[in-house]
Every structure is written in C-alpha cells, then in structure tokens.
Amino acid sequence: MDTILRIDVGAAGGPKATPTPVGDYAGLGGRGLTSAIVATEVPADAHPLGPENKLVIAPGLLSGTAASMSGRISVGCKSPLTGGIKEANAGGQAGQLLARLGYAAIVLEGARQGDDLYVVRISKDGVTITADPSVRRATNYQLMDKFLGEYDKTGAMIAIGTAGEMGYGNSTVSITDMEGRPTRHAGRGGVGAVMGSKGIKAILIDAKGAKSRKPADPEAFKAASKAWVEGLEKHPVTGEGLPAYGTNVLTNVINEAGGLPTRNFATGQFEGASKISGETQAELEVARGGSATHGCHRGCIIQCSGTFVNKDGRYVTKQPEYETVWAHGANCGIDDLDVIAELDRLDDDYGLDTIEMGATIAVAMEAGVAKFGDGQAAIELVREVGKGTPLGRILGSGTATTARVYGIEHAPCVKGQAMPAYDPRAVKGIGVTYATSPMGADHTAGYAVATNILKVGGDVDPLKAEGQAELSKNLQIATAAVDATGMCLFIAFAVLDQPDTFQALVDLLNAYYGWNLDAAGVAAYGSKILAFERDFNQRAGFTSADDRLPRYFKREPLAPHNVTFDVSDAELDSVFG
Amino acid sequence: MTITVKCFASLAPLQPKNAGAFPIAPGETVARVMERLRVPEGGASLIFVNNVHRQPDTVLRDGDTVGFFPPLGGG
C-alpha cells in the first residue's frame, strides 16, 4: 500500500490515472487517510460537486492482510449533505482487494470534461478507463448484471446507482459483497454524488495474482492474529449474539429501553416492534430458505449479515440491518418485514442511504405526503427518488431539505444529516455523538449505545446527562482510530470489554508496520484524525452552534420516559474543547 | 400480584406460557424470577424493569414489566 492512484477526470482525452507515492500520508489508512487528504487538498469553501472537491477511496491499515475483520473501506470527500468533511465506510470485498493490489487510496479529482460516464478497471497489470454510454442511469443491480462476469471470481465493483448520478445529497457508493451483489454501501453524506460529479460510474477491481500483504514481523503478526480471533470468538456479542440474529436484534432492546424513534421521533416505542425484530427476521429468513448468518466479506468471523428471500424463496436483498429496519419500519410506522426488505433492495439498487431515506419518508409522512404505516406508499416514494421526478429529487436531497420544503420543524438532523435509530432523549450519550461528531448525526462515530444500553465497555445511565460528554469523547477518539485500521466497528464490543483483545489489535498494527504503538499512541492517532476533520469543518464555516441537536429535542419530552435532551451546551462544547 | 415477563433473542424459549400475568410473591426479586424461569447463570446480561435497566436484586411490584436479554450488540 505504497501507492495512491490519482485519477484526473479533467485530463485531455478523458480521465487519466497516475500512480503516485503515498509520501507524507504514509502511516495513514482508511478514515485517517481520507480525512487527511480531504483536509489537506480540498479547499474548505469548495462546492461539494465542484471541481475542487475530491473523492478518496481508501482501504484500512490492515486491509488485505491475513487479519480477520479487516475488510472495511473508507470513502471521503466534502459532503454534499452536510457541507462538512465526510467519511463513510462500508464492508464488502473491495477494501481487501485494493490493498492487495498495493493501493493505499484511489483519489478522483479534477474538473469533469463533458458529460460522458466512465468505467475504471484496475488490475495488477494497470489501470484502464473507458467511456461507456450504456451505464447511464443504470442502477447498481443493473451494473452487477452487466459486469459480474468481469469481477465475480477475483474482483469487486465500486459503483454509484442513479442517486449518485443525479447528484443527490442522499447517494451512496456501493461495494459488492462476496456474491458480487451491490449490498454494501458507504452510505452517509452523499458520497455517491461526488463520484457522479467526477463522471465515474463504476470501478471494477480484479485482484487476480495479487498476494496477501506481508507484515514486517510475520511471527508476531501470526501470534497477534491468533489472539485477535480468540478474543472475538470468546466475547458473547461478537461470538454469539451478532452471528445469530444480526444487527436487528437491537429492535427489541432499543424498544424495551424506550429509545426506538417511532413515527419521525414522535415517541420512543413502536407497537409493531416484535413483528420487525431481529428474532422474527431470522426465523422468517431461515423458514423461507434464506440465511440468518452470513459475512459481508471474506475473512469476517462475526457474520452479522444474512440473506432475505421472499415467500417463493427468491433473493430480495441482504438481511436488512437494524438501522434500515428502524428507518423504514418503526420510524415510518411500518411493521411489515417484506415491505422493509423491498425498500432496502430499492435503496441498494438506486444507491440510497437507508437511514437518510427512511428519515426523509418519515418527515414526508408527517407532512401528509403519505400516511404513517403505508408501506406501499413508502415504496412508491423511493421509486420517485430513483426515477428523479421533481418530488423524488426533493426527497433525494435528504431529510433536512424535505422538512424545509414542506415546512416541518421536526427534522431530526445535525449538520444536515439525519439521526439514526436511537432517540437522543432516551439514549443521551449517542445524542452527544450526534451533536458533536464532525460527520453530522452518525451513531458509528462514537457508539455510546454500547455503554448506555448494552452495558458493553462500562455502564452509563442513558437517561441522565452526567458522564455522556466524556463517554462520547473517548468513543469518538477510539472509533476514529478503528476506522483507520479497516477493522469492522463491531470488533469494538470485544475490544471495549477485553483488554487482551484491544492489545491484540495494537499488536497487529505494530507487527505489520514495525511500530511501537501503545494505548496512548492509539488515542493520539484517533485524536489526530478528528483534528483534521474539525479543522476542515471550522474552515468550512462550522462553529459550536453546529454542534447542537435541533431545539425541539430539548423542548418535547419523549415517551415512555418523558425525557428531553438535557446535556448542556457547555458539556457538548467540552467534547472537543 | 402478577408481572409481565418478556424473554428475548436466545432466551425466548424460556418465555412462560403465562407471560402476560406471571404470578409473583410479595418482595420477589428479579433474581428469583430468573431462577423460576431457569435463566442460566450469566444468561441475562440486560434486565429491564418498566423500560429501565435494573439489577437482579430489584424487588418487583404488581404490574411491572420485566425484559430479559442475553449479551448482544449491533448498530
């Protein structure tokens, strides 16, 4: 991973790829590398869809090695949704393969010439880029049908659907899974639109002949790798809970805790929760001949995903994640898993972030565009988004824009990005993360739900303001470091609870790179990434006023606990103060 | 005195038939209910009483709702 592949989309005669040395960015990976490049090279006042913005796609520090769980890939840019720096990351096959081909990152940069759409092909023999008129307005699954034969055995596809091509604030970059399906998405913040603005529709990776990356100290790496796997397998969450039920096991937990945002965050419990729970979902999948335990990339041992099939046993989509089931389910008052699976499929196909899409539909429902609970209406709305009708374009611009268009105060957004599946009034720690993360409302940036609700990594009362700022701060720093490694964030459940598993992760990095990192060094690494991001956002015009939840979360109590968000502004400012 | 009992995820098979009106004695604790349901040692890492996280020594009252979860995560 000594090379950054820079693709100048404005070069004479069409986009031109140039391998460049990693240079000053050495030692950075994943989110660390995307945020460093964006903060260093993109003017903070750039328009997100203008020529000065860049799209950076980077595997993690440990991607492409033999270390288990290292398949995450980061996609960074200035966000069309938030106007701030963005890193969205995804699983799937591409991260491992890009790393094995020696690339620390792909950077799409420059001013697009004309309106041709291009397909990039990367293999160990080099890079080719060709204009392909047939991909225009193709959805992700249509791209799969077209290109699967090229990448199914030893490759992967990175692509945008119609949402990215149309420049939506809600648009993903899709990454194919082990079956070659476009089910993994760098979802948040409209990264797909930035790829679309560069005229690149798909990147086909063929890693045939590429070898697993070799560590500086193979023996130490092997030992650390063994301890790493043992640690993940022995922890009850990573070893048992996630494989059995997937992420949607949270529906019942968060509902029981009174923090499941329902009908556009109007209340904290959904009467249909058990019908869309992970337990019901797993039972349905298995009964129909699908699967409730499946990984998104080779080398995953947690296997939190699955395969959702319809009544006839035909593939619909991958197992919808908790966030998706919440966004399209409880938050829209919908209690039908088949409807939710169909919405998940459509989101993946068009290239839409399921969180943002579900939150947007809920706002539209509050505005009277459709009724809460009307699944068919929700499906039709997402189809409008895919088609690019005027209404679809409004909805595709995101939750905040939709609320503004319809005159609705209840836009559950921070920095223009919709909140995920935990009401910040009943899970106050995650509220601090929503408010203060440089990414906008993002649960993965500092998953205080673990400590507030799941009692992993300690126990901080979710209903009290005390201790939440400190908790969120520490988690945001640790998460930034994990996001640089290429490790799936779910490793955090084991890492937070088991010091020897945390040490195994540090040992993996040290053995691979010949470093001498310790716990303080990991924290410094995470802090450095956040500093890049905060600095960019400040230069882009963000102030402490942007590190706040919408006012109504302080004013309107949430049932059943009848709580408001009462973490003070001073405490919020202390997170990065 | 009765309570509502909810057993989730891998504890679902322990859900009693009379879960909606599960009888308890005065002063009965969550721990005693877990014994009666044969929840294995350490099997319920998350206990909610009326939607609030509680410890096994919590004394239950008539009409309470108790939820048991094994260790789990997601997000």
Tens of pLDDT, residue by residue over A108-132, are: 999 999 999 999 999 999 999 999 9
* CATH number for position A359: 1.10.569.10
Is there a single domain that holds both residue A224 and residue A263? no
pLDDT, mean of residues A314-343: 97
At A204 the pLDDT is 98
Query: What type of residue sits at position A24?
Result: D
Chain A positions touching chain B (beta carbons under 8 Å): 236-238, 240-242, 244-250, 252-253, 256-258, 269, 278-279, 304, 321-323, 443-444, 447, 449-450, 453-456, 459, 461-463, 489-490, 493, 560-561
Question: Does the pLDDT of residue B23 top 90, yes or no?
Answer: yes
Is there a single domain that holds both residue A471 and residue A326? no
Question: Does the pLDDT of residue A480 top 80, yes or no?
Answer: yes
The percentage of residues in chain A with a pLDDT greater than 70, rounded to a whole number, is 100
Interface touch B71/A242, C-beta < 8 Å? no
pLDDT, tens digit, 9 for 90 and up, residues A209-224: 998 889 999 999 999 9
Q: How far apart are CA A78 and CA A83, in angstroms?
A: 6
Query: Which ipTM score applies to this complex?
Result: 0.97
Q: On the CB side of A234, how many CA atoms lie within 13 Å of its CA?
A: 12
Query: Which DSSP string do the residues of B16-74 spell out, in sequence order?
Result: -TTGGGEE--TT-BHHHHHHHHTPPTT---EEEETTEE--TTPBP-TT-EEEEE-S---
> Shortest CB distance from B75 goes to which of A269, A279, A444?
A444
Query: Which DSSP string do the residues of A193-250 spell out, in sequence order?
Result: HHHHHTTEEEEEEE-TTPPPPPPSSHHHHHHHHHHHHHHHHHSHIIIIIHHHH-GGGH
Is there a single domain that holds both residue A567 and residue A446? yes
At A212 the pLDDT is 83
Mean model confidence pLDDT for chain A: 97
For B70, nearest residue in chain A (alpha carbons): A241
* CATH number for position B23: 3.10.20.30
pLDDT, tens digit, 9 for 90 and up, residues A492-505: 999 999 999 999 99
Is there a single domain that holds both residue A261 and residue A274? yes
Q: How far apart are CA A243 and CA A478, in angstroms?
A: 24
- pLDDT bucket at B74, cuts 50 / 70 / 90: confident
Measured in degrees and rounded to the nearest 5, phi and psi for residue B3 equal: -130, 170
B75 lies in a domain? no
Q: Coil, strand, or helix at residue A403?
A: helix
pLDDT, tens digit, 9 for 90 and up, residues A350-405: 999 999 999 999 999 999 999 999 999 999 999 999 999 999 999 999 999 999 99
Is there a single domain that holds both residue A320 and residue A232? no
Residue ending a domain, among A393, A422, A451, is A422
pLDDT, mean of residues B54-65: 97
Best A256, A319, A326, A433 residue to mutate vs chain B (most B CBs within 10 Å)? A256
Mean model confidence pLDDT for chain B: 96
Chain B positions touching chain A (beta carbons under 8 Å): 6, 8-10, 12, 45-46, 48, 51-53, 67, 69-75
Q: How far apart are CA A143 and CA A174, in angstroms?
A: 11
Domain count, chain B: 1
At A537 the pLDDT is 98
Chain A CB contacts of B43 below 8 Å: none
pLDDT, mean of residues A142-160: 97
pLDDT, tens digit, 9 for 90 and up, residues A510-540: 999 999 999 999 999 999 999 999 999 999 9
Best A234, A240, A250, A253 residue to mutate vs chain B (most B CBs within 10 Å)? A253
At A240 the pLDDT is 86
Is there a single domain that holds both residue A198 and residue A221? no
Query: What type of residue sits at position A337?
Result: L
Q: How far apart are CA A18 and CA A1, in angstroms?
A: 15
Is there a single domain that holds both residue A21 and residue A143? yes
What are the Cα distances from residue A274, in Å, to A244, A253, A351, A427, A457? 17, 10, 28, 20, 27
Question: Does the pLDDT of residue A419 top 80, yes or no?
Answer: yes
User: How close A558 gets to chain B, by Cα (Å)?
Assistant: 13
At A31 the pLDDT is 98
Interface touch A561/B51, C-beta < 8 Å? yes
Is there a single domain that holds both residue A67 and residue A91? yes
> Shortest CB distance from A490 goes to which of B45, B70, B73?
B73
Is there a single domain that holds both residue A334 and residue A387? yes
At A528 the pLDDT is 98
Range of the domain at A26: 3-206
Chain B CB contacts of A236 below 8 Å: 45, 70-72
Is there a single domain that holds both residue A293 and residue A311? yes
B21 lies in a domain? yes
At A241 the pLDDT is 84
Question: Does the pLDDT of residue A252 top 90, yes or no?
Answer: yes
Q: How far apart are CA A117 and CA A346, in angstroms?
A: 22
Is there a single domain that holds both residue A574 and residue A562? yes
pLDDT, mean of residues A299-321: 94
Interface touch A449/B75, C-beta < 8 Å? yes
- pLDDT bucket at A243, cuts 50 / 70 / 90: confident
Question: Does the pLDDT of residue B1 top 80, yes or no?
Answer: yes
Do β-strands A16-21 and A305-309 pair in parallel, antiparallel, or remain unpaired? unpaired
* CATH number for position A157: 3.60.9.10
Q: Are A265 and A60 in contact (CB under 8 A)?
A: no
Query: Which of A233, A298, A305, A226 is closest to A71 using CA atoms?
Result: A298
Domain count, chain A: 3
Residues 6+ apart with CB under 8 A from A255: A269, A270, A273, A330
Question: Does the pLDDT of residue A1 top 80, yes or no?
Answer: no
Is there a single domain that holds both residue A469 and residue A355? no
Query: What type of residue sits at position A183?
Result: T
- pLDDT bucket at B18, cuts 50 / 70 / 90: very high
> Shortest CB distance from A454 goes to which of B12, B51, B72?
B72
At A224 the pLDDT is 98
pLDDT, tens digit, 9 for 90 and up, residues A13-66: 999 999 999 999 999 999 999 999 999 999 999 999 999 999 999 999 999 999
B74 lies in a domain? no
At B35 the pLDDT is 97
